[in-house]
Chains A and B, each alone.
Chain A
Amino acid sequence: MLAYHCPHCGKCWSYPVKKCIFCKSDTREVSETKYTVIGFTKVCVPSSGNERVPYFVYLIEGRNGTKTLLKSFHEYHLGHAIDLAGIGPQAVPAVVVPGNDPALR
Protein backbone atom coordinates (compact mmCIF):
# COMPACT_ATOMS: atom_id res chain seq x y z
CA MET A 1 0.00 0.00 0.00
CA LEU A 2 1.54 3.25 -1.11
CA ALA A 3 0.96 6.86 -0.20
CA TYR A 4 2.86 9.90 -1.39
CA HIS A 5 4.23 12.41 1.07
CA CYS A 6 5.90 15.79 0.72
CA PRO A 7 8.79 15.76 3.21
CA HIS A 8 8.99 19.55 3.06
CA CYS A 9 5.42 20.73 3.81
CA GLY A 10 3.82 17.49 5.04
CA LYS A 11 1.02 17.19 2.45
CA CYS A 12 -0.06 13.64 1.57
CA TRP A 13 -1.75 12.06 -1.44
CA SER A 14 -3.32 8.70 -2.26
CA TYR A 15 -2.62 9.27 -5.93
CA PRO A 16 0.89 8.89 -7.39
CA VAL A 17 1.97 12.50 -7.19
CA LYS A 18 5.62 13.12 -8.01
CA LYS A 19 5.88 16.84 -7.21
CA CYS A 20 4.23 18.84 -4.43
CA ILE A 21 2.07 21.56 -5.97
CA PHE A 22 2.31 23.64 -2.78
CA CYS A 23 6.10 23.85 -2.33
CA LYS A 24 7.37 22.21 -5.57
CA SER A 25 9.40 19.60 -3.63
CA ASP A 26 9.79 16.00 -4.75
CA THR A 27 7.40 13.67 -2.94
CA ARG A 28 8.39 10.29 -1.56
CA GLU A 29 6.53 6.99 -1.42
CA VAL A 30 5.44 5.65 1.94
CA SER A 31 4.42 2.01 2.19
CA GLU A 32 2.49 0.14 4.87
CA THR A 33 1.14 -3.40 5.03
CA LYS A 34 0.05 -3.93 8.63
CA TYR A 35 -3.42 -2.59 9.42
CA THR A 36 -6.05 -2.81 12.16
CA VAL A 37 -9.82 -2.95 11.63
CA ILE A 38 -11.32 0.30 12.98
CA GLY A 39 -14.74 0.02 11.32
CA PHE A 40 -16.82 -2.31 9.21
CA THR A 41 -20.18 -2.82 7.59
CA LYS A 42 -21.93 -5.91 6.29
CA VAL A 43 -23.39 -5.07 2.86
CA CYS A 44 -26.55 -7.02 2.07
CA VAL A 45 -27.61 -5.59 -1.31
CA PRO A 46 -25.94 -6.66 -4.56
CA SER A 47 -24.62 -4.24 -7.13
CA SER A 48 -22.60 -4.47 -10.33
CA GLY A 49 -19.26 -6.05 -9.43
CA ASN A 50 -20.62 -7.00 -6.02
CA GLU A 51 -23.22 -9.59 -6.99
CA ARG A 52 -22.38 -12.00 -4.16
CA VAL A 53 -23.84 -10.82 -0.85
CA PRO A 54 -23.48 -10.42 2.00
CA TYR A 55 -19.94 -9.15 2.04
CA PHE A 56 -17.98 -7.00 4.45
CA VAL A 57 -16.20 -3.71 3.85
CA TYR A 58 -13.56 -2.96 6.45
CA LEU A 59 -12.10 0.45 7.24
CA ILE A 60 -8.57 -0.34 8.30
CA GLU A 61 -5.83 1.86 9.71
CA GLY A 62 -2.09 1.34 9.38
CA ARG A 63 0.49 1.86 12.07
CA ASN A 64 1.43 5.17 10.48
CA GLY A 65 -2.15 6.45 10.39
CA THR A 66 -2.92 5.46 6.81
CA LYS A 67 -6.53 4.43 6.24
CA THR A 68 -7.89 2.26 3.48
CA LEU A 69 -10.81 -0.04 2.70
CA LEU A 70 -10.92 -3.77 2.22
CA LYS A 71 -13.73 -5.87 0.79
CA SER A 72 -13.90 -9.39 2.20
CA PHE A 73 -16.26 -12.31 2.67
CA HIS A 74 -14.55 -13.11 5.98
CA GLU A 75 -15.91 -11.69 9.20
CA TYR A 76 -13.42 -9.81 11.38
CA HIS A 77 -14.04 -7.76 14.50
CA LEU A 78 -12.94 -4.31 15.52
CA GLY A 79 -9.26 -4.39 16.46
CA HIS A 80 -8.46 -7.36 14.20
CA ALA A 81 -4.96 -7.14 12.69
CA ILE A 82 -4.64 -7.55 8.92
CA ASP A 83 -1.43 -7.85 6.89
CA LEU A 84 -2.14 -6.65 3.36
CA ALA A 85 1.11 -8.07 2.06
CA GLY A 86 -0.63 -11.36 1.40
CA ILE A 87 -3.79 -9.90 -0.09
CA GLY A 88 -2.41 -8.19 -3.18
CA PRO A 89 -5.06 -7.47 -5.81
CA GLN A 90 -7.64 -6.13 -3.40
CA ALA A 91 -5.26 -3.50 -2.13
CA VAL A 92 -6.00 0.09 -3.08
CA PRO A 93 -3.85 3.19 -2.66
CA ALA A 94 -3.46 4.05 0.98
CA VAL A 95 -4.06 7.50 2.33
CA VAL A 96 -2.13 9.17 5.09
CA VAL A 97 -4.13 11.25 7.50
CA PRO A 98 -1.92 14.27 8.05
CA GLY A 99 -0.52 14.51 11.51
CA ASN A 100 -1.06 10.89 12.48
CA ASP A 101 2.34 9.60 11.54
CA PRO A 102 5.21 10.90 13.68
CA ALA A 103 7.72 9.66 11.11
CA LEU A 104 6.19 11.89 8.45
CA ARG A 105 6.12 15.13 10.41
Chain B
Amino acid sequence: MYISGIGRTKFGSLPQTLPELAYEAMYEAIVDSNVDITDIGAIFVSNFLGGPLNGQLHLNSIVASLLPGMNVPIARVETACASSSVALKQALYALGQHDHVLVVGAEKMTAGTVLGPTEAIAMAADRHADQLNGLIFPANYALIAQQYMQKYRIGHEVLEQIALINHRNARLNPLAHFHDKDVTLEMIRRSPVISSPLNLFDCSPLSDGAAAVVLSKEPQGSRDVKILSSQYVTDATSLTQRASLTSFNAVKIAARMAYAESGKGPDDIDLAEVHDCFTISELLALEDLGLCEPGGAAKLVGEGRILRDGDLPVNTDGGLKADGHPIGATGLAQIFEIVVQLRGEAGPRQVAGPNVGMIHNVGGIGGTAAVTILEGSQC
Protein backbone atom coordinates (compact mmCIF):
# COMPACT_ATOMS: atom_id res chain seq x y z
CA MET B 1 0.00 0.00 0.00
CA TYR B 2 1.26 3.43 -0.95
CA ILE B 3 0.91 7.12 -0.20
CA SER B 4 0.40 8.61 -3.63
CA GLY B 5 -0.52 12.16 -2.68
CA ILE B 6 -0.06 14.56 0.22
CA GLY B 7 -1.37 17.99 1.08
CA ARG B 8 -1.55 20.35 4.01
CA THR B 9 -2.35 23.91 4.92
CA LYS B 10 -0.20 26.31 6.82
CA PHE B 11 -0.60 25.82 10.59
CA GLY B 12 -1.32 28.68 12.96
CA SER B 13 -4.11 31.03 13.91
CA LEU B 14 -5.89 31.08 10.57
CA PRO B 15 -8.96 32.83 9.16
CA GLN B 16 -10.40 29.75 7.45
CA THR B 17 -13.26 27.69 8.84
CA LEU B 18 -12.98 23.95 9.55
CA PRO B 19 -14.53 22.94 6.16
CA GLU B 20 -12.34 25.43 4.30
CA LEU B 21 -9.21 24.00 5.92
CA ALA B 22 -10.25 20.43 5.12
CA TYR B 23 -10.98 21.30 1.50
CA GLU B 24 -7.63 23.01 1.00
CA ALA B 25 -5.71 19.98 2.29
CA MET B 26 -7.78 17.51 0.25
CA TYR B 27 -7.32 19.61 -2.90
CA GLU B 28 -3.55 19.74 -2.41
CA ALA B 29 -3.37 15.97 -1.84
CA ILE B 30 -5.40 15.17 -4.96
CA VAL B 31 -3.33 17.56 -7.08
CA ASP B 32 -0.14 15.99 -5.69
CA SER B 33 -1.31 12.48 -6.63
CA ASN B 34 -2.02 10.88 -9.97
CA VAL B 35 -5.50 9.99 -8.70
CA ASP B 36 -8.71 11.74 -9.72
CA ILE B 37 -11.06 12.67 -6.89
CA THR B 38 -13.80 10.59 -8.53
CA ASP B 39 -11.59 7.50 -8.19
CA ILE B 40 -11.57 7.81 -4.39
CA GLY B 41 -13.60 4.92 -2.95
CA ALA B 42 -13.85 6.05 0.68
CA ILE B 43 -12.79 8.91 2.95
CA PHE B 44 -11.79 9.01 6.61
CA VAL B 45 -11.97 12.32 8.48
CA SER B 46 -9.78 12.87 11.52
CA ASN B 47 -10.94 15.46 14.03
CA PHE B 48 -10.93 15.78 17.81
CA LEU B 49 -12.63 18.99 18.90
CA GLY B 50 -15.19 19.83 16.24
CA GLY B 51 -18.00 19.33 18.76
CA PRO B 52 -16.71 21.05 21.90
CA LEU B 53 -14.87 23.88 20.14
CA ASN B 54 -16.72 24.51 16.89
CA GLY B 55 -20.18 23.11 17.60
CA GLN B 56 -19.75 20.89 14.56
CA LEU B 57 -20.05 17.12 14.63
CA HIS B 58 -21.16 14.79 11.81
CA LEU B 59 -18.04 15.92 9.95
CA ASN B 60 -18.28 13.09 7.43
CA SER B 61 -21.36 14.77 6.02
CA ILE B 62 -19.67 18.17 6.06
CA VAL B 63 -16.85 16.68 3.97
CA ALA B 64 -19.46 15.18 1.66
CA SER B 65 -20.83 18.67 1.12
CA LEU B 66 -17.36 19.66 -0.12
CA LEU B 67 -17.52 16.90 -2.76
CA PRO B 68 -20.88 17.37 -4.48
CA GLY B 69 -22.35 14.24 -6.01
CA MET B 70 -19.69 11.78 -4.84
CA ASN B 71 -21.74 9.95 -2.20
CA VAL B 72 -18.90 7.64 -1.15
CA PRO B 73 -18.67 6.19 2.37
CA ILE B 74 -17.10 8.76 4.70
CA ALA B 75 -16.46 8.31 8.43
CA ARG B 76 -15.08 10.54 11.17
CA VAL B 77 -12.42 9.07 13.44
CA GLU B 78 -11.68 10.46 16.91
CA THR B 79 -8.93 9.18 19.19
CA ALA B 80 -7.77 12.51 20.67
CA CYS B 81 -4.36 13.60 19.34
CA ALA B 82 -3.83 10.26 17.58
CA SER B 83 -6.98 10.65 15.47
CA SER B 84 -4.98 11.04 12.24
CA SER B 85 -3.02 7.83 12.62
CA VAL B 86 -6.05 5.81 13.59
CA ALA B 87 -7.91 7.26 10.58
CA LEU B 88 -4.95 6.18 8.45
CA LYS B 89 -5.21 2.65 9.82
CA GLN B 90 -8.94 2.51 9.06
CA ALA B 91 -8.18 3.74 5.55
CA LEU B 92 -5.64 0.97 5.09
CA TYR B 93 -8.29 -1.56 6.07
CA ALA B 94 -10.62 0.07 3.52
CA LEU B 95 -8.02 -0.39 0.78
CA GLY B 96 -9.10 -4.02 0.88
CA GLN B 97 -12.27 -2.88 -0.89
CA HIS B 98 -11.15 0.23 -2.81
CA ASP B 99 -8.21 1.15 -5.06
CA HIS B 100 -7.84 4.61 -3.55
CA VAL B 101 -8.84 6.04 -0.18
CA LEU B 102 -8.49 9.60 1.07
CA VAL B 103 -7.65 10.55 4.67
CA VAL B 104 -8.12 14.14 5.79
CA GLY B 105 -7.49 15.62 9.23
CA ALA B 106 -8.62 19.08 10.24
CA GLU B 107 -8.88 21.13 13.42
CA LYS B 108 -9.99 24.67 14.21
CA MET B 109 -8.67 25.41 17.69
CA THR B 110 -8.56 29.21 17.76
CA ALA B 111 -11.75 31.25 17.92
CA GLY B 112 -13.64 28.45 19.67
CA THR B 113 -17.30 29.18 20.17
CA VAL B 114 -18.56 26.51 22.58
CA LEU B 115 -15.94 25.62 25.22
CA GLY B 116 -12.55 27.10 26.04
CA PRO B 117 -9.60 25.19 24.61
CA THR B 118 -8.21 24.16 28.02
CA GLU B 119 -11.48 22.50 29.01
CA ALA B 120 -11.92 20.96 25.58
CA ILE B 121 -8.41 19.47 25.38
CA ALA B 122 -8.79 18.11 28.92
CA MET B 123 -11.43 15.77 27.46
CA ALA B 124 -8.55 13.60 26.23
CA ALA B 125 -7.98 12.64 29.87
CA ASP B 126 -10.18 10.55 32.17
CA ARG B 127 -12.95 12.83 33.43
CA HIS B 128 -13.44 11.13 36.80
CA ALA B 129 -9.86 10.29 37.67
CA ASP B 130 -8.13 13.33 36.16
CA GLN B 131 -10.28 16.25 35.04
CA LEU B 132 -12.28 16.54 38.27
CA ASN B 133 -9.02 16.79 40.23
CA GLY B 134 -7.80 19.84 38.32
CA LEU B 135 -5.42 17.83 36.16
CA ILE B 136 -5.52 19.97 33.02
CA PHE B 137 -3.64 18.51 30.08
CA PRO B 138 -0.25 20.19 30.66
CA ALA B 139 -0.40 19.05 34.30
CA ASN B 140 -0.40 15.41 33.16
CA TYR B 141 2.85 15.88 31.31
CA ALA B 142 4.20 17.99 34.18
CA LEU B 143 3.78 14.99 36.48
CA ILE B 144 5.58 12.85 33.91
CA ALA B 145 8.37 15.44 33.60
CA GLN B 146 8.83 15.56 37.36
CA GLN B 147 9.09 11.77 37.57
CA TYR B 148 11.45 11.58 34.58
CA MET B 149 13.74 14.38 35.77
CA GLN B 150 13.93 12.80 39.20
CA LYS B 151 14.54 9.26 37.92
CA TYR B 152 17.22 10.13 35.38
CA ARG B 153 18.63 13.19 37.20
CA ILE B 154 18.28 15.64 34.34
CA GLY B 155 17.52 19.33 34.60
CA HIS B 156 15.09 21.54 32.72
CA GLU B 157 17.89 22.58 30.35
CA VAL B 158 17.38 19.36 28.35
CA LEU B 159 13.76 20.32 27.72
CA GLU B 160 14.91 23.82 26.75
CA GLN B 161 17.23 22.32 24.13
CA ILE B 162 14.36 20.32 22.64
CA ALA B 163 12.23 23.45 22.35
CA LEU B 164 15.09 25.35 20.75
CA ILE B 165 15.86 22.63 18.19
CA ASN B 166 12.22 22.37 17.15
CA HIS B 167 11.82 26.13 16.81
CA ARG B 168 14.99 26.29 14.69
CA ASN B 169 13.62 23.53 12.43
CA ALA B 170 10.34 25.42 12.06
CA ARG B 171 12.25 28.42 10.69
CA LEU B 172 12.96 26.26 7.62
CA ASN B 173 9.35 25.12 7.25
CA PRO B 174 7.22 27.82 5.58
CA LEU B 175 4.01 26.04 6.64
CA ALA B 176 4.94 25.92 10.35
CA HIS B 177 2.96 27.80 12.97
CA PHE B 178 6.14 29.48 14.23
CA HIS B 179 7.99 29.77 10.91
CA ASP B 180 8.32 33.52 11.38
CA LYS B 181 9.23 33.49 15.08
CA ASP B 182 12.90 33.74 16.03
CA VAL B 183 13.03 31.94 19.38
CA THR B 184 16.10 32.20 21.60
CA LEU B 185 17.22 30.13 24.57
CA GLU B 186 16.72 33.20 26.75
CA MET B 187 13.08 33.47 25.68
CA ILE B 188 12.55 29.81 26.49
CA ARG B 189 14.16 30.09 29.91
CA ARG B 190 12.22 33.22 30.89
CA SER B 191 8.81 32.00 29.77
CA PRO B 192 6.13 31.68 32.46
CA VAL B 193 5.39 28.47 34.33
CA ILE B 194 2.25 26.69 33.11
CA SER B 195 2.37 23.65 35.38
CA SER B 196 5.65 23.04 37.16
CA PRO B 197 8.19 22.01 35.96
CA LEU B 198 6.83 22.86 32.49
CA ASN B 199 6.78 26.41 31.19
CA LEU B 200 5.16 27.98 28.15
CA PHE B 201 7.89 26.89 25.76
CA ASP B 202 7.53 23.27 26.87
CA CYS B 203 4.01 23.26 25.43
CA SER B 204 2.83 22.92 21.85
CA PRO B 205 0.53 25.71 20.63
CA LEU B 206 -3.16 25.82 19.79
CA SER B 207 -3.17 25.69 16.00
CA ASP B 208 -5.64 25.66 13.15
CA GLY B 209 -4.81 23.52 10.16
CA ALA B 210 -5.48 20.52 7.99
CA ALA B 211 -3.56 17.77 6.22
CA ALA B 212 -4.53 14.98 3.85
CA VAL B 213 -3.08 11.92 2.14
CA VAL B 214 -4.22 9.80 -0.80
CA LEU B 215 -3.65 6.08 -0.27
CA SER B 216 -3.46 3.65 -3.17
CA LYS B 217 -3.39 -0.12 -3.34
CA GLU B 218 -0.79 -0.03 -6.12
CA PRO B 219 1.92 2.57 -6.84
CA GLN B 220 0.76 5.44 -9.03
CA GLY B 221 4.14 6.99 -9.81
CA SER B 222 7.80 7.24 -8.87
CA ARG B 223 7.11 9.71 -6.04
CA ASP B 224 4.90 7.25 -4.15
CA VAL B 225 6.00 6.19 -0.68
CA LYS B 226 5.39 2.67 0.57
CA ILE B 227 3.67 2.05 3.89
CA LEU B 228 5.70 -0.71 5.53
CA SER B 229 3.58 -0.78 8.67
CA SER B 230 0.94 1.22 10.50
CA GLN B 231 0.04 0.06 14.00
CA TYR B 232 -1.85 1.44 16.94
CA VAL B 233 -2.74 0.12 20.36
CA THR B 234 -4.65 1.55 23.31
CA ASP B 235 -4.19 1.82 27.05
CA ALA B 236 -5.94 3.48 29.97
CA THR B 237 -5.22 7.19 29.69
CA SER B 238 -5.11 8.15 33.38
CA LEU B 239 -1.69 8.23 34.97
CA THR B 240 -3.29 6.72 38.07
CA GLN B 241 -3.58 3.49 36.13
CA ARG B 242 0.05 3.29 35.07
CA ALA B 243 2.79 1.27 36.68
CA SER B 244 5.40 3.60 35.11
CA LEU B 245 5.19 7.33 34.53
CA THR B 246 8.42 7.56 32.56
CA SER B 247 7.36 5.56 29.52
CA PHE B 248 4.20 4.75 27.59
CA ASN B 249 3.61 1.02 27.34
CA ALA B 250 1.24 1.45 24.40
CA VAL B 251 4.01 3.11 22.39
CA LYS B 252 6.41 0.27 23.14
CA ILE B 253 3.87 -2.31 21.97
CA ALA B 254 2.93 -0.37 18.82
CA ALA B 255 6.61 0.10 17.96
CA ARG B 256 7.33 -3.58 18.47
CA MET B 257 4.43 -4.48 16.16
CA ALA B 258 5.54 -1.96 13.52
CA TYR B 259 9.14 -3.17 13.55
CA ALA B 260 7.97 -6.77 13.25
CA GLU B 261 5.62 -6.11 10.34
CA SER B 262 8.04 -3.87 8.46
CA GLY B 263 11.06 -6.09 8.93
CA LYS B 264 12.93 -3.00 10.08
CA GLY B 265 14.57 -2.21 13.39
CA PRO B 266 15.55 0.97 15.23
CA ASP B 267 18.90 1.03 13.41
CA ASP B 268 17.10 1.20 10.05
CA ILE B 269 15.23 4.40 10.89
CA ASP B 270 16.78 7.34 9.02
CA LEU B 271 14.53 10.03 10.47
CA ALA B 272 11.52 10.30 12.74
CA GLU B 273 8.57 12.51 13.50
CA VAL B 274 7.68 12.15 17.18
CA HIS B 275 4.71 13.48 19.11
CA ASP B 276 6.25 16.31 21.13
CA CYS B 277 3.01 17.78 22.45
CA PHE B 278 5.24 18.74 25.39
CA THR B 279 9.03 18.72 25.32
CA ILE B 280 9.17 15.89 27.85
CA SER B 281 7.18 13.65 25.53
CA GLU B 282 9.97 13.82 22.93
CA LEU B 283 12.33 12.17 25.44
CA LEU B 284 9.81 9.44 26.21
CA ALA B 285 9.18 8.87 22.49
CA LEU B 286 12.84 8.36 21.62
CA GLU B 287 13.14 5.75 24.37
CA ASP B 288 9.80 3.99 23.88
CA LEU B 289 10.49 3.64 20.14
CA GLY B 290 13.75 1.88 20.99
CA LEU B 291 15.83 4.60 19.33
CA CYS B 292 17.91 4.76 22.53
CA GLU B 293 18.03 3.08 25.92
CA PRO B 294 15.66 4.12 28.75
CA GLY B 295 17.13 7.29 30.22
CA GLY B 296 19.33 7.77 27.16
CA ALA B 297 17.30 10.36 25.26
CA ALA B 298 18.90 13.36 26.97
CA LYS B 299 22.28 12.17 25.72
CA LEU B 300 20.87 11.82 22.20
CA VAL B 301 19.71 15.43 22.41
CA GLY B 302 22.91 16.69 24.02
CA GLU B 303 25.13 15.11 21.38
CA GLY B 304 23.15 16.74 18.60
CA ARG B 305 22.20 13.43 17.04
CA ILE B 306 18.57 14.51 16.49
CA LEU B 307 19.55 17.63 14.55
CA ARG B 308 18.91 17.80 10.79
CA ASP B 309 22.54 16.88 10.12
CA GLY B 310 22.70 14.29 12.92
CA ASP B 311 22.47 10.54 12.41
CA LEU B 312 18.82 10.50 13.57
CA PRO B 313 17.05 13.72 12.53
CA VAL B 314 13.85 14.23 14.54
CA ASN B 315 10.96 16.59 13.84
CA THR B 316 12.56 18.31 10.87
CA ASP B 317 9.33 20.27 10.33
CA GLY B 318 9.50 21.77 13.84
CA GLY B 319 7.42 19.08 15.52
CA LEU B 320 4.18 19.74 17.33
CA LYS B 321 6.12 22.24 19.40
CA ALA B 322 6.84 24.66 16.55
CA ASP B 323 5.19 23.33 13.39
CA GLY B 324 1.98 23.36 15.40
CA HIS B 325 -0.60 20.98 16.79
CA PRO B 326 -4.01 21.22 15.09
CA ILE B 327 -4.96 17.99 16.80
CA GLY B 328 -7.00 16.22 14.12
CA ALA B 329 -4.41 17.06 11.46
CA THR B 330 -1.25 16.45 13.46
CA GLY B 331 -0.54 12.81 12.62
CA LEU B 332 -1.14 13.43 8.91
CA ALA B 333 1.18 16.45 9.01
CA GLN B 334 3.85 14.18 10.50
CA ILE B 335 3.30 11.78 7.59
CA PHE B 336 3.44 14.76 5.18
CA GLU B 337 6.90 15.65 6.49
CA ILE B 338 8.28 12.12 6.27
CA VAL B 339 6.91 11.73 2.71
CA VAL B 340 8.44 15.05 1.65
CA GLN B 341 11.78 13.99 3.12
CA LEU B 342 11.71 10.50 1.56
CA ARG B 343 10.92 12.05 -1.83
CA GLY B 344 13.86 14.44 -1.42
CA GLU B 345 11.55 17.44 -1.75
CA ALA B 346 12.09 19.13 1.64
CA GLY B 347 14.17 22.02 0.28
CA PRO B 348 16.41 23.75 2.84
CA ARG B 349 15.44 21.33 5.61
CA GLN B 350 16.12 18.20 3.51
CA VAL B 351 18.14 15.55 5.33
CA ALA B 352 20.71 13.53 3.42
CA GLY B 353 19.34 10.52 1.54
CA PRO B 354 16.73 9.05 3.89
CA ASN B 355 15.15 5.72 2.93
CA VAL B 356 13.06 4.80 5.96
CA GLY B 357 11.08 7.17 8.17
CA MET B 358 9.03 6.64 11.32
CA ILE B 359 5.98 8.49 12.66
CA HIS B 360 4.98 8.39 16.35
CA ASN B 361 1.56 9.83 17.17
CA VAL B 362 0.01 9.71 20.66
CA GLY B 363 -3.51 10.38 21.91
CA GLY B 364 -4.20 11.56 25.44
CA ILE B 365 -1.43 10.66 27.84
CA GLY B 366 -0.41 7.52 26.01
CA GLY B 367 -4.00 6.26 25.87
CA THR B 368 -3.69 5.76 22.12
CA ALA B 369 -0.32 5.17 20.53
CA ALA B 370 0.36 4.85 16.81
CA VAL B 371 3.57 4.02 14.99
CA THR B 372 3.92 4.14 11.21
CA ILE B 373 6.97 3.21 9.16
CA LEU B 374 7.37 4.46 5.58
CA GLU B 375 9.89 3.64 2.87
CA GLY B 376 10.85 5.85 -0.05
CA SER B 377 10.81 4.59 -3.61
CA GLN B 378 14.48 5.51 -4.04
CA CYS B 379 15.56 2.44 -2.03
Contact = CB atoms under 8 A, between A and B. Distances in A.
A, B in one complex: yes
Interface string A30-49: 00000000011111110111
Interface string B132-145: 11111011001100
B136 A47 contact: yes
Contacts of B130: 69
B240 A69 contact: yes
A51 to B, nearest CB: 11
Interface in B197-214: 197
A69 to B, nearest CB: 4
Given A41-B195, A44-B195, A95-B238, A68 B134 contact: no
A40 B241 contact: no
B255 interface: no
A45 B135 contact: no
A99 interface: yes
A14 B132 CA distance: 15
Interface residues of B, number: 32
Contacts, number: 96
Contacts of A95: 129, 238, 240-241
Contacts of B196: 41-42, 44
A49 B116 CA distance: 12
A88 to B, nearest CB: 14
B128 interface: yes
A35 to B, nearest CB: 11
Contact of A40 (B116, B143, B192): B143
Given A67-B240, A71-B134, A45 B195 contact: yes
Contacts of B136: 43, 45, 47, 50
A99 B244 CA distance: 13
Contacts of A69: 129-130, 133, 135, 239-240
B172 to A, nearest CB: 31
Contacts of A68: 129, 240
A41 B132 contact: no
B122 interface: yes
A55 B133 CA distance: 11
B374 to A, nearest CB: 36
A71 B133 contact: yes
Contact of A14 (B129, B147, B245): B129
B243 interface: yes
Contacts of B139: 41, 43, 57
B242 interface: yes
A21 interface: no
Interface in B91-116: 115-116
B130 to A, nearest CB: 7
A70 B133 contact: yes
B282 to A, nearest CB: 19
A67 to B, nearest CB: 4
7 contacts: A41-B196, A43-B195, A47-B119, A49-B134, A50-B136, A67-B241, A92-B132
Given A57-B139, A92-B129, 14 more contacts: A14-B240, A14-B241, A39-B245, A40-B146, A45-B136, A47-B116, A47-B118, A50-B136, A69-B129, A69-B135, A92-B132, A95-B241, A97-B243, A100-B243
